[in-house]
Amino acid sequence: MEKWKIENNVFDSDEKNEKLMIVIKDIVEEFDRLIPTGPPLGFKRLELINDEVVGPTFYWPRGQDFYKIALNISDVNYNQVAFQFSQGLCRIYCDPRMRSWFIQLVSHLCGLYALDFLAHKWDENPPNDDLKEYWYNFDSYKSNLLGAAFSKVDIVKYQVANEWVQYQVNKLRRKDKINRGKLLIIAYELLPMFKEHPESWQILPFVGKCSVPPPPEDPKEVVIDRDTEPDFNKLMDQIPDEMKEFAKKFYDKIGAGEYI
């Protein structure tokens, strides 16, 4: 946590902002554990605000020396904060200058992981007496998100078609319109793999770097055209050797092996 200087301006109330920091602190520390190398643009001041119009969103850095994440919440709902904040933090760890369907997919993965992580952590060690029973809300919120997503797809076809994930990823590669609900389902299917291989999260800082077009080498240089495509061949080449076994399984799952 000491690596980050977090400026919390989500609510006008200091009391609410202090409560909010309970879940923010847990997520930041978990990201630091999973990805010890840190984000590709380094640790900077991180400003949190609430934007009920365009949030949740990430404000990309136009040469500033800080990151800015906007939540979209009406009260201190820890489950909602966890999902939205972890997605924004994921953008920072991938490279906030880049934007792609793949980064959105990884962000959904981080959001679901955060809900599972906090449900387990707060069940075993709640942050205070008032939150002893709150852990279940993380599970419930995750179920509601997935329930809404699954309700909009052909469930029967999904259950019998092992190729569903690969089919959806192939549509994304063909620049099909991004459907957040389907991205969430793909992320749900990939999540067990990431949990089984804790080193997998260290792929995040390579995601933005291995984009087409790639980000500028100078971390202080911004880009005008942020829309990119993932370069899976370059990603495989650049990740450390100890991650390649996981990457092959991941590529097989999403059907990316045919592109390298």
The residues pairing with 58 across neighbouring beta strands, listed in sequence order, are 69
> Does residue 185 come out as left (phi exceeding 0), alpha (psi in the -120 to 50 range) or beta?
alpha
Task: Read off the pLDDT of residues 8-26 as tens digits, 9 standing for 90 and up.
Answer: 999 999 999 999 999 999 9
Alpha-carbon distance of 92 to 208, in angstroms, equals: 10
As a whole-number percent, the residues of the chain with pLDDT over 70 amount to 93
Task: Read off the pLDDT of residues 111-163 as tens digits, 9 standing for 90 and up.
Answer: 999 999 999 999 999 999 999 999 999 999 999 999 999 888 876 665 645 68
Residue 32 reports pLDDT greater than 80 = yes
CB 185 within 8 A of CB 150: yes
Task: Read off the pLDDT of residues 39-58 as tens digits, 9 standing for 90 and up.
Answer: 999 999 999 999 999 999 98
Per the prediction, the chain carries an average pLDDT of 91
- Residue of 90, 55, 48 whose CA lies nearest to 73: 55
Using 50, 70 and 90 to split pLDDT, how confident is the model at 260? very low
Q: DSSP letter at 72?
A: -
- Residue of 68, 61, 88 whose CA lies nearest to 216: 61
User: Considering its fold, how many domains does the chain have in total?
Assistant: 1
CB 229 within 8 A of CB 212: yes
Task: Read off the pLDDT of residues 178-199 as tens digits, 9 standing for 90 and up.
Answer: 899 999 999 999 999 999 999 9
The residue written with tokens 């080449």 in the block is 237
CB 230 within 8 A of CB 223: no
Burial class (CB in 10 A: 0-12, 13-18, 19+), 253: middle
CB 56 within 8 A of CB 71: yes
Task: Read off the pLDDT of residues 78-100 as tens digits, 9 standing for 90 and up.
Answer: 999 999 999 999 999 999 989 99
pLDDT for res 155:
60
Residue 102 reports pLDDT greater than 70 = yes
Residue 36: give the domain boundaries.
5-259
pLDDT for res 159:
60
As a whole-number percent, the residues of the chain with pLDDT over 90 amount to 73
